[in-house]
Amino acid sequence: MARLSTLDEILDEEDEFGLLDVTARPAPAVTPLEELEAGVVTELNDFYERQGRLPDPESCDIAEMRLGILAGRLDGRSAAVLAADRHDLLARRPFRG
C-alpha cells in the first residue's frame, strides 16, 4: 500500500472496510428540550387537576413555586408541548417566572 499524502488521495482510494459508508440519522421527532417542556406541562396539568388553579411562582410551597416559575418560562410553541397541554393552560398564563 502506497503512502498517501493528501485527503483527496485518501478519499479517492477504495474503501475496502466500508468505513465511509454512512447514513445520516433521521432527526428525532421530539427534541430533548421539547420532551422536558412537555413534562413540565404534564406536571402543570396535574397540579391544575388537584388544586383547581394555576401554580403561584411566589408561593411559599417550594414545589408550587418551582412549577409556577418553570411554567412561566415555557414558550408553548412546539407540538409536543401543545399536545401535553390538556387544559389549554398555556393560553391563559397569568403567571410569569
In a domain, 22, yes or no: no
Domain that holds residue 84: 29-92
- Do residues 48 and 88 lie in contact, with contact meaning Cβ atoms separated by under 8 Å? no
In a domain, 10, yes or no: no
Q: What's 57's DSSP letter?
A: T
| Alpha helix segments (H runs only) across 26-96 | 32-51, 62-73, 79-84
pLDDT of residue 53: 93
Per-residue pLDDT 10s for the chain (97 aa) are 567 578 888 778 888 888 878 888 887 788 888 999 999 999 999 999 999 999 999 999 999 999 999 988 887 788 888 889 999 888 876 654 4
In a domain, 4, yes or no: no
In a domain, 12, yes or no: no
Q: How many domains does the chain have?
A: 1
